[in-house]
Amino acid sequence: MCGFAGFIDFNKREDLKVLKAMADTLVHRGPDDSGYEFLQNVNAHIGFGFRRLSIIDLSPLGHQPMYHADGKLLVMLNGEIYNYQELRNELIDLGHFFKSNSDTEVILNGYKEWGISVIEKFIGMFSIALFDDEKEKIFLVRDRAGIKPLFYYKNNGTYLFASELKAFHQCASFEKELNKDALALYFKHGNIPAPYCIFKNTYKINPGHWLCIDLNSKEETSHCYWNAFDAYNQKPSSLNYEEAKVKTEELMESAFNYRMVADVPVGVFLSGGYDSTAVAALLSKTQKKINTYTIGFENKDFDESKEAKKVAGHLGTNHHEYICKMKDAMDIIPLLPDLYDEPFGDSSAIPTTLVSRIARQYVTVALSADAGDELFAGYPRHQKGRNYLDAISKIPTLLQKVAAKPSSLISNLFSSDFEKADKWSRLHDVLNSKDSLEAFNHFNETFSTSELDRLLIDPFQIQKTVFNSGNELNNSVSNLNKILAVEYKTYLVDDILQKVDRATMSASLEGREPFLDHRLLEFVATLPDEYKLFEGKGKRILKDIVHQYVPVEIMNRPKMGFGVPVKDWLRLELKDLFMEVMDHDFIVKQNLFNPKLVERLKDKFLEGKLHDTERIWFLFVFQMWYKRWM
């Protein structure tokens, strides 16, 4: 796990000093080593800057940027290729030579043998920057699920690319102008979905895509090499439940053990829930006594440590528990704009950062357990959404359009002061949706489009996202699987994975995602709905696998979110910070938001009369970000 930054400057103005400044903003991602390659190509100045966190092949031979032996190919890798040993042996049989034991060198020789299609052979998490000097092409590649981030900026003959946005601020060519359309997306989702970014002319590489920049023609080409929707469009599995359970466990075991490959200590985040317990239980079958890490809180409403301890005791792990004081969590809030250098509204970033700091005292690599909900239908909204969508699909389209008009009129007549969501405007948006994905999106938005029209001063356009790509899914795909497919490509990548990457890397900890092995998704996507959501309960097949190793009585407890009481802190201990960033005069000067509406929203919150506190949290987080970066 590392971080990199670089540029392609057709104006030939950028230099080694800029490159070093860009890369060194990412020292938290890679404190162990640094490398910089500044190349003066006939067409452009090219910079490749790297910060290394040593995980595989700790020797200097793993140094990056890494050249191929012939000197005509250069690569940087952020992440891990877990099946690199198998690929290395295959390449040796084909006549290739290796000087290191690193997975990075496998990319170089693999590209020489198979071209850019080599990435389709990888089992792993990765963002890659690769320069082919002979073909005069630079590739920017992101892994299938989007575990590893990769941003780029293009404007006036300059491309910048980096693992985090903060690197761009070191370059004079970067013009930091707010993208108002992306701002609207943030207030809808609490994050900015790929490929969009908070700044104009700035983008995220989509998961499962690569971007190629031709140095001769200056043209760019984007290619999708993997799409989760394709898995859901496959022919449904004919396996009976027991056969499917065996196959699911086999794939999970393979995926989990791959993520233990490292030349440094590895641990597992253990909450005591089904996802993390599955990881710990299956690894305990084949690995020596594994290390597990849990944080708890003095506030019992947010404490899962006792449940995690029971699971660890049953499995016999080497368990570490740290009970945090709420001040530990509160102290992270002012740091959020630096950790998440794009507005990010998921408050569970706070405890995730805390547990990462604790784990880093013992290990360099930690396995998380994200995506269990997205694979196996674990969120309450999955059942609710499926039920709503099934009901709506029975209403004729014409009748939906007719019903949408009065809902819009009612919304205009009885619009709220934002103390709670405008259900009528949501109903209007749902009934006007062209398919299930758009409807599900409107169910879950924090601010509807009509509410944003009132909140934001400047006009905006709601950009198309994955939620608008329902036509890519076959009509035979069930509403539940449509929900899971779109969650995998939206909430998972833009919220969960972004949260875990920034939190872990802020502590120089490599976070690995065992449930995000693409082989697991490709199989589970074909399973019938009832193997996942059964008799009103999600994760059926996952839970039955876990119950083979951990008794039901240990696991049987209500689902608990990984959160902290931010709404109480903003009213009490952090009220000074809250009032500073939400200051009326400052908001007027910003000229982004309707000042009177924000003031009413702030007053309702401080009086304890705001029903949906996520709304004020999104505003608060954005204001902190704006003060830091704009």
Active site (catalytic) residues: 2
Strand pairing class (365-367; 510-512): parallel
Residues 6 and 48: beta-carbon distance below 8 Å:
yes
> By C-alpha distance, which of 488, 617, 630, 517 is closest to 194?
488
Q: How many CB atoms lie within 10 A of CB 538?
A: 21
> By C-alpha distance, which of 538, 520, 548, 558 is closest to 307?
558
CA angle 430, 435, 440 (to 5 degrees): 50
Distance (Å) of CA 394 to CA 6, 86, 161, 402, 484:
52, 50, 47, 15, 21
Distance (Å) of CA 274 to CA 13, 308, 369, 500, 545:
53, 10, 9, 18, 10
What span, in angstroms and rounded, lies between the C-alpha atoms of 262 and 367?
Answer: 12
Distance (Å) of CA 440 to CA 328, 427, 479:
36, 11, 10
What span, in angstroms and rounded, lies between the C-alpha atoms of 283 and 512?
Answer: 14
**Cα of 335 vs its chain's centroid, Å:** 19
Burial class (CB in 10 A: 0-12, 13-18, 19+), 353: buried
What span, in angstroms and rounded, lies between the C-alpha atoms of 533 and 6?
Answer: 45
Strand pairing class (151-155; 202-204): antiparallel
What span, in angstroms and rounded, lies between the C-alpha atoms of 557 and 30?
Answer: 39
What span, in angstroms and rounded, lies between the C-alpha atoms of 401 and 421?
Answer: 22
